Each structure stands twice: as structure tokens, then as C-alpha cells.
Amino acid sequence: MMFPLTYIIFFFFLILGVLISISSPSWFGVWIGLELNLMSFIPLISLKMSSYFSESALKYFLIQAMGSALLISSSFMFLSFMFSSLFLILFSLLLKMGSAPFHFWFPQVMEGLLWPQVFLLSTVQKIAPLTLTSYLMISEPLNKLIFISAVLSAVIGALGGLNLMLLRKIIAFSSINHLAWMLVAVSLSDMFWLFYFLIYSFILLSITTMFLKIQAFTLSSLIKSDQTNFLFTLFISFNFLSLGGLPPFTGFVPKWMLIQVLLNQNMFFILFFLLSSALITLYFYLRIIIPFILLMNPSMSFMTKFKSFCFISPSVMIFSSFNYLGLIFPLYSLIL
């Protein structure tokens, strides 16, 4: 179910709230932008009258309201207790973006959303908190606190996705794990986290577009969708391998660059957790891919729910083709 054309005003204020937050010279202006962004996203969640959408909208509103209250109250303390105020502001931003140890709400809200809202919550709604977090990189204790949150996000995002059958929760824990890489990149350079964020957004767009086309929300429904379509099996496999950061797909390129920077700065402890969690996330991506390879048998076509032509739509092919750009990146590096 796509968004109605009349909802374009909510998209406008959604982006406007992000722009106000990241360009405001004061924390009060940041709070106004975040509230505008929140009030615009709630109608996009409650697009359809359903208890699942209403529950997710209420959970998201309460969590974001708590984060906004902590942000505006801690900003009042900035002049008197600057150091403590910065810590509380950072905690509020971590809560808003769903980073560990404030991640508890993220999979629960994600479970009640449709795939377009899943994409927005995992990408657009994290732009403002991540940008504001990069503004707080002014002291060593704050850097260490972000590194701790990144390590916790990497571990929780990897272990939380194990033994799950619900695709939206798998994507939620995957988003938490990728957020760990982005938090580390935020502490190093603005260009690194922006580049990682853009690559992750394009990969997630290809996956959510494919799931939207076949209306798959569980692993069993995804497996039963079409075992006889070779192109569909190839696309879904490559998309998840790119999301897991397996070389030479596009998802590996930002991780490769970040690994090089961490090695040059001798940050082996953080790199160990990031790489270990990446291997674990790649394992539960393979749990999704392997059934397609094993069940790709023409004799099982009677089990399919959809026709093959539904999967190979132009939008799926265009968004999925982005994951193959990483194949030419090594050649480009050799030329340079």
C-alpha cells in the first residue's frame, strides 16, 4: 500500500523538520524541527485504520516525546551545567535514533509498519539525530560514550536478529547494527557517515521495494512466493548479500573504507566488535537466502502464490542494480 497523493504535505513537513533541525543555531530551534518531523511522521504511520498501525504510532509518539522532553530540558541546563547537559542531549539523540542501549522500542514499532514506513523510519528519521550527534563531537568523553553505544548497537543488532522469522524485525535489528557503523563514522568524519548512510539507504530501498511488490512480511511467505523464478532468487540474494557487506557488492565499499580508517588510527577494539557483528548479521541473511537456492525447483511451482512477472518490475530492477556497482569499484581503484 503506497501513500496517497494527498499525503505529500506530510512528506514536505517531514523533510522541512529535518532541515530545520540540522540548520538551527540553537537547541530550541532543533527541538522545533524535531517536533515538526514527529508530527509529520505520525500520520504516515496511521495511514490505515488498524490496531497495528495505531499501536506503532502511539509507541513511536511516546518514545519521541520522551526524547524531545529530555532534549529541551537538558538544553536549558546548558549555561549552568554544560558538561552534564551535553551528556543528556546525547542520550536524547541516541533514544530518538534507536541506538543501544535505547533500542528497545525500535523493533516493536517496526513490526507494525508497512514497507514504505519501514524505509522512512530506518533512513529519513535518522538523518537529524545523526547530524546533531556529529555536532557534539567536542570532547573526548562524548566520543567514548558514542563508541560504547556503537559497540552495544553492533552486538545487540547482530544477536537480536538470530532465530527470527519476521522480516520487519530482521530489518530492524539489521538497521541497529548498521547504525553502529554510522556512529563510529560520525566520530571520525562527516563525509564517512554521510557516504555510509547513502549507500545503506539505497540498498534498503531495493529490499523494501521488492518486499512491497510481493507483500512478504514473514520468512515463510517470502519462501513460498516464487521458487521457480531464477531472477527473483538472484535479486533477493544479491540484495541481502550487499546489505550484509559481502565483497564485492556495493554494501562492502563503505565498510571497507571505514575499516581502513579504523586500522590507521589503531582502533582495533571497536573494529573487532564491528567485524564480528557483521559476520553474525551475514549469517541470518544467509538463513533467508539459502531456502531460495534449495527450493528453486520447477516441480514445486504449484506452491507459488504469485505470478513470475510481478517480481521483475522496472522499479525492482533499477533499485537492485545499485547493489552491483561495487563490482566495478575494485577496477576503478586499480585505475587510480
Within 10 A of 4 (CB to CB), how many other CB atoms are there?
Answer: 8
pLDDT of residue 236: 84
Query: 315 with 240: CB under 8 angstroms?
Result: no
pLDDT of residue 307: 44
Question: How far is 145 from 74, CA to CA, in rounded Å?
Answer: 17
Question: How far is 196 from 254, CA to CA, in rounded Å?
Answer: 5
Q: Which residues pair with 203 in a beta bridge?
A: none
Residue 271 vs residues 184, 189, 256, 280, 320: alpha-carbon distances, Å = 10, 16, 11, 14, 29
Q: Flag whether the pTM goes above 0.95.
A: no
Output the tens digit of pLDDT for each of the chain's 336 residues. Answer: 466 777 889 999 999 999 999 999 988 999 999 999 999 999 988 877 677 788 899 999 999 999 999 999 998 887 788 888 999 999 999 999 999 899 999 999 999 899 999 999 999 999 999 999 999 888 888 999 999 999 999 999 999 988 888 899 999 999 999 999 999 999 888 888 999 999 999 999 989 988 888 888 888 887 776 544 677 778 888 889 899 988 888 889 899 999 999 999 999 999 999 999 999 999 888 888 887 777 665 444 444 444 444 445 666 667 677 676 766 665 544 444
Question: How far is 204 from 5, CA to CA, in rounded Å?
Answer: 23
Cell representation of residue 226: 516464487
Cell representation of residue 220: 515463510
Query: 243 with 251: CB under 8 angstroms?
Result: yes
Cell representation of residue 275: 567485524
Query: 228 with 308: CB under 8 angstroms?
Result: yes
Question: How far is 183 from 203, CA to CA, in rounded Å?
Answer: 19
Within 10 A of 34 (CB to CB), how many other CB atoms are there?
Answer: 26
Question: How far is 77 from 54, CA to CA, in rounded Å?
Answer: 35
Task: Give the closest residue to 211 by CA, choosing from 315, 87, 322.
Answer: 315
pLDDT of residue 30: 94
CA angle 231, 234, 236 (to 5 degrees): 105
Give pairs for 139-148: CB < 8 Å, separation 24+: 139/83, 139/86, 141/83, 141/87, 142/86, 142/87, 142/90, 143/187, 145/87, 145/90, 146/90, 146/183, 146/184, 146/186, 146/187, 147/183, 147/184, 147/187, 147/270
Phi, psi of 270 (to 5 degrees): -65, -40
Single-letter amino acid code for the residue at 270: I
Query: 74 with 81: CB under 8 angstroms?
Result: no
pLDDT of residue 328: 66
Residue 248 vs residues 210, 262, 327: alpha-carbon distances, Å = 22, 20, 5
Question: How far is 283 from 249, CA to CA, in rounded Å?
Answer: 16
